[in-house]
């Protein structure tokens, strides 16, 4: 990409009013302390902008492909979409990942796995039949799917994260990879935070769950969650008005989906 991008402002273009898939992007900027323009804070302007980007008539420009769906990152003359792709682009530029070597691929695989488990599969819990239907029109299926999500899938992904934390490649300390804070840690934080909103009883139960050795089965996972939450920049962000409450986005709380 052209070198002038280095000094260009970062711009986030996404649906307003919800953390949504934009939240992972915001957390990277917030932790890095790098200024960004969050266009979602201007709903009257950003909604038409998103609609214009995703319109069937919009075929991008000389260098950028058309956009299927937001979040969209604009950085100088570069316009990209797809959440894991935006994170891959941003992380090394914001000092939250190495820019080359095998770490790039190890972190990307970890982030893809976390987003599979806690974003893609989470979305299916309230929309197991069709995105074009209301939740109310797919409620029995949502209930059936959520049962398996809560009982099998969340534990499966948490076990995997715990396995990563116990690996040599994870290094010392609370972080997922190489002994240092990376964007994967921020991604995990938001995955857990959203899941806690959607399925609070489940997360509470898993936090207390003991392994056969009597120790907390997911201690590392929840320690990492707490550590990210108390990072000075993240902690100020979470306390600020920039952090939006959850609602009817990816992470939704329907009490009936979490019945005992």
What residues line the site for a second copy (CB under 8 A)? Answer: 1, 56, 58-66, 68, 78, 80-82, 84-85, 88-89, 101-102, 105-106, 108-110, 112-113, 120, 124, 128-130, 132-133, 141, 144-145, 148, 152, 159-160, 163-164, 166-170, 177
The residue length of the chain stands at 260
Which strand ranges, in their side-by-side order, compose the sheet holding 36-38? 36-38, 10-13, 72-75, 78-81
Q: Least distance to a second copy from the beta carbon of 233, Å?
A: 25
For residues 56 and 255, which CB has a smaller minimum distance to a second copy in the complex?
Answer: 56
Q: Least distance to a second copy from the beta carbon of 86, Å?
A: 8
Task: For residue 127, give every residue at least 6 positions away whose Cβ sits within 8 Å of its Cβ, in sequence order, or none.
Answer: 133, 135, 138, 142
- What gap in Å lies between CA 56 and CA 29, rounded to an integer? 31
Q: Least distance to a second copy from the beta carbon of 30, Å?
A: 22
The CA-to-CA distance between both ends of the chain, in Å, stands at 52
Give the CA count within 13 Å in the CB-facing half-sphere of 242. 19
Q: Least distance to a second copy from the beta carbon of 229, Å?
A: 23
For residues 77 and 227, which CB has a smaller minimum distance to a second copy in the complex?
Answer: 77
Q: Least distance to a second copy from the beta carbon of 59, Å?
A: 4
For residues 124 and 227, which CB has a smaller minimum distance to a second copy in the complex?
Answer: 124
Q: Give the dihedral sign, CA 96/39/71/232.
A: positive
Residue with tokens 């695989």: 109
For residues 166 and 232, which CB has a smaller minimum distance to a second copy in the complex?
Answer: 166
For residues 2 and 236, which CB has a smaller minimum distance to a second copy in the complex?
Answer: 2
């Amino acid at each position: 990409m052209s070198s002038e991008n280095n000094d260009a402002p970062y711009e986030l273009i996404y649906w307003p009013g919800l953390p949504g898939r934009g939240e992972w992007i915001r957390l990277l900027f917030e932790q890095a302390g790098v200024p960004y323009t969050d266009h979602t804070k201007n709903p009257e302007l950003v909604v038409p902008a998103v609609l214009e980007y995703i319109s069937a008539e919009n075929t991008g420009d000389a260098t950028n492909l058309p956009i299927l769906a937001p979040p969209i990152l604009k950085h100088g003359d570069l316009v990209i979409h797809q959440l894991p792709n935006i994170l891959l682009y941003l992380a090394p530029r914001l000092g939250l990942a190495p820019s080359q070597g095998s770490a790039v691929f190890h972190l990307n695989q970890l982030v893809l796995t976390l987003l599979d488990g806690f974003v893609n599969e989470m979305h299916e819990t309230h929309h197991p039949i069709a995105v074009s239907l209301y939740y109310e029109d797919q409620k029995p299926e949502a209930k059936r799917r959520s049962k398996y999500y809560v009982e099998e899938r969340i534990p499966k992904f948490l076990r995997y994260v715990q396995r990563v934390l116990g690996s040599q490649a994870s290094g010392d300390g609370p972080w997922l990879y190489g002994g240092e804070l990376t964007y994967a840690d921020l991604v995990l934080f938001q995955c857990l935070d959203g899941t806690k909103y959607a399925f609070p009883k489940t997360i509470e139960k898993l936090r207390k769950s003991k392994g056969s050795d009597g120790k907390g089965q997911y201690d590392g996972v929840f320690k990492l969650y707490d550590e990210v939450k108390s990072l000075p920049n993240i902690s100020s962000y979470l306390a600020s008005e920039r952090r939006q409450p959850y609602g009817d986005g990816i992470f939704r709380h329907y009490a009936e989906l979490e019945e005992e």
